[in-house]
Structure 1
Amino acid sequence: MSNGQPPTMKDVARHAGVSVSTVSYVLNDSGPVAPARRARVLDAVRVLNYAPNEAARGLKRRSAPTIGLVVPELSNQFFALLAEGVEQAAAARGVLVVLCAPEAIDGGESLNGRLLRSQRLNGIIYLSGASTSPTSLLELTRLGPIVLVDEQVPGFDLPAIVSDNRRGAREVAQHVLEAGHRKIAVIGGPEGLWTAQQRLAGYREALAAAGIEPDTVPVFGGSYRQESGTELAAKALSGPSSERPTALLCANDLMAIGVLEYCRSEGILVPEELSVVGFDDLPLVSLLTPRLTTVRQPARDMGVRAANLLFELIDDKVDVPAPEPFPTLLQIRDSVATPLGSS
């Protein structure tokens, strides 16, 4: 070129007498071009000694394999650990991860949906939240393979990586019952979530096995957030002291932490006056006072398995078997004791 600069795609288009898009179609083999025009473009490339900018082409094509990861929020350590597992598996394969946390911003789900749709993604890992929109999820299914993790979504026949929530809830409720508690209340998760339903079912199985009619046990539906546990503890413990529950089964650790916060503010001793259990086994709960009895589910391992399953689906391994739920593990610590007045 006369100015000493390397030729551009515009120069090729001008020399060949075609549009820039036509040059792009020829060079990337990405669109129909008449044979005569194709010949003129290739001749211009030869005459001008044009060399495509491979870095720019790579960016435009997103040649690096890329997956999307949708999480409700990252303030919950459980979701953060799942995300770590996904990133670990992706990094091992040289795959990029586009992270979206819909609840972090106003109108987040629709905005993040647009962001994901604007990317050339090979697949998506989806952690369902309480505000999940079936319409948004349906839109995302059109982008490529999707793997759900931690939740299952009614109406969607999608592969899911989950833990055995029902068994875990049953075992922690059995532990509370074996300590002698009969006046029990549940601080459950959001009504529409599969995990909340499974955990409530597990609690009820344990209650029924102990001869307690499950429908007589009050259930307070929470949001899985810490402040929800605080608010619902006030409701659950609002009656006369003789009628209050002696144990609260909390459907996740964050709400259990909220319960402990309420008890401290009201001078209620845990576990002497009230036993409290959670679910998830977040790293911080073994550092609390008292240390929280809870159910461990392997968040990071679930993230790794979800990513590896997605990679198999992306590779068109259509006969991938449905993964078995991860086992849960009861973690007995210091937040459960025999109720006062028990012999």
Structure 2
Amino acid sequence: MADITIKDIARLANVSPAAVSYVINDRPGVSPETREHIRRIMADNGYTPSLTSRKLKLHRSFNIHVVIGSVHVAFDDLFYNSAIERMMQVCNENGYSLVLSDTARFEHSSLHRAILQKDVDGVVFLQDVVSEAVAHLQEAGIPYVVLDAHKLSPHHNSVYCDYGEAAGAAVNHLLEQGHRRIGLVGVDRIPEFFEATRAGYTATLSSAEIAPKPEWVHPCPDDRSLPDDLCDRLRAAQLTAVVCATDLLAVNLMQQLQKKGIPVPEALSVCGMDDVLIARYCTPTLTTVEIDKQQMGEAAIRLLLDMLDKKRPTTGQSLCIHSTAVVRRDSVAPLHQP
């Protein structure tokens, strides 16, 4: 049987070949009902448009790169795995391929080659831009978005979370459980992230007429390795609960507490921020503030697609994903007053 053509689809759908072309290339001019009818005929007959033809006609590569830069973002990062999974789904739904790029040495990276070969339509950076890459993207007119941005700039497009708001939600939950001596364990590798969480923590305690003491706040260099004396400092501060800026930080802290014979939540309640997969399987299971990573990933791709379709300007776009939902598990207990 000969390969089915656009004319065959048009005949079966009782429309013009131009209408089929509009649907294939996502162009206006066809009603939603007719568009769905044509797509159904295409699916029923196993018709797949030629990607090469679409690329030539639309001057697009249908490739979107996600950049793993030099900002300590690993491929095994639990937070970004979820966001990347959703980005891949949205790309697939819209006929795009998602390509992961490591730009530690930009001049030798796959992204650099793709820009030179006009084989990339848009780029998502994780946390922060790679300056050398941005210069090439701007020169080529290729839109880009910073996902989970901590440094907002009118020159970049960003999808970000209000981590101060999330920290405030964690503190509020602990206050509702009767805790008043609440500490913060943060990550100061990214100063903007640490300051945002500390600001939300401090403001929420202040609204409850609690003035946090300096010894209640403990910055860590990253969430994978904690200072050996952290547990001792938390106990010396006579805290009854702690907010951790990431779930991985919280899990590591709980392990350190358990090694020292300090039970969670009986002696110290621990609340995280993220709701990554490990939060459900650690012991005790982790109470945490859900950061909607899938929504962040989807928002980044849809923002790029809107810019490619000229529905949005290509600079200065910022979308905030609000996160205040507390997932209650076993690492937080009500404080029983003596």
Q: Distance in 2 between matches of 1:173 and 1:189?
A: 17
* Residue 214 (structure 2) aligns with: 216
* Residue 7 (structure 2) aligns with: none
* Residue 299 (structure 2) aligns with: 305
* Residue 147 (structure 1) aligns with: 145
Deviations 1:267-287 (A, max 9, x none): 210000111111010122122
Q: Distance in 1 between matches of 2:98 and 2:134?
A: 18
Deviation of 1:74 (Å): 2.4
After superposition, the Cα gap between the structure-2 partners of 1:237 and 1:332, relative to the gap in structure 1 and judged at 3 Å, is: same
Deviations 1:105-151 (A, max 9, x none): xxx6224873311113111011116xx65555555554511111112
* Residue 115 (structure 1) aligns with: 110
Other structure's SS at 2:179 match = coil
Other structure's SS at 2:297 match = helix
2:77 matches 1:76: yes
Q: Distance in 2 between matches of 1:240 and 1:291?
A: 21
* Residue 329 (structure 1) aligns with: 325
Deviations 1:252-276 (A, max 9, x none): 1011111111122212100001111
After superposition, the Cα gap between the structure-2 partners of 1:156 and 1:218, relative to the gap in structure 1 and judged at 3 Å, is: farther
Deviations 1:273-320 (A, max 9, x none): 111111010122122221111010221121112111101112222358
After superposition, the Cα gap between the structure-2 partners of 1:81 and 1:92, relative to the gap in structure 1 and judged at 3 Å, is: same
2:139 matches 1:127: no
Other structure's SS at 1:170 match = helix
* Residue 33 (structure 2) aligns with: none
* Residue 91 (structure 2) aligns with: 90
Q: Distance in 1 between matches of 2:154 and 2:107?
A: 20
Root-mean-square deviation over aligned CA pairs: 3.1
- Contact conserved, 1:172 with 1:294, CA < 8 A, in 2? yes
* Residue 13 (structure 2) aligns with: none
Q: Distance in 1 between matches of 2:183 and 2:335?
A: 14
Deviation of 1:196 (Å): 3.4
> Aligned residues: percent identity?
26
Q: Distance in 1 between matches of 2:215 and 2:85?
A: 37
| Pairing partner for 1:202 from 200, 204, 211 | 200
* Residue 293 (structure 1) aligns with: 287
After superposition, the Cα gap between the structure-2 partners of 1:155 and 1:302, relative to the gap in structure 1 and judged at 3 Å, is: closer
After superposition, the Cα gap between the structure-2 partners of 1:214 and 1:133, relative to the gap in structure 1 and judged at 3 Å, is: farther
Q: Distance in 1 between matches of 2:61 and 2:264?
A: 52
| 1:8-87 mapped onto 2 (5 Å cutoff) | 64-71=61-68, 72-87=73-88
Deviations 1:48-78 (A, max 9, x none): xxxxxx98xx89xx96411110242221211
- Contact conserved, 1:185 with 1:236, CA < 8 A, in 2? no
Q: Distance in 2 between matches of 1:322 and 1:139?
A: 21
- Contact conserved, 2:292 with 2:321, CA < 8 A, in 1? no
Superposition TM-score, scaled by structure 2 size? 0.71
* Residue 99 (structure 1) aligns with: 100
| Pairing partner for 2:177 from 157, 176, 179 | 179
- Contact conserved, 1:236 with 1:245, CA < 8 A, in 2? no
* Residue 165 (structure 2) aligns with: 167
After superposition, the Cα gap between the structure-2 partners of 1:134 and 1:221, relative to the gap in structure 1 and judged at 3 Å, is: farther
Q: Distance in 2 between matches of 1:322 and 1:154?
A: 8
- Contact conserved, 2:247 with 2:279, CA < 8 A, in 1? yes
- Contact conserved, 1:110 with 1:136, CA < 8 A, in 2? no
Larger radius of gyration: 1
Structure having the larger proportion of residues in strand: 2
* Residue 265 (structure 1) aligns with: 259
In structure 1, stretches of 5+ residues that fail to align are 1-53, 103-107
- Contact conserved, 1:151 with 1:194, CA < 8 A, in 2? no
* Residue 24 (structure 2) aligns with: none
Q: Distance in 2 between matches of 1:238 and 1:251?
A: 19
Q: Distance in 1 between matches of 2:326 and 2:108?
A: 37
- Contact conserved, 1:148 with 1:158, CA < 8 A, in 2? yes
- Contact conserved, 2:242 with 2:270, CA < 8 A, in 1? yes
After superposition, the Cα gap between the structure-2 partners of 1:236 and 1:247, relative to the gap in structure 1 and judged at 3 Å, is: farther
After superposition, the Cα gap between the structure-2 partners of 1:204 and 1:274, relative to the gap in structure 1 and judged at 3 Å, is: same
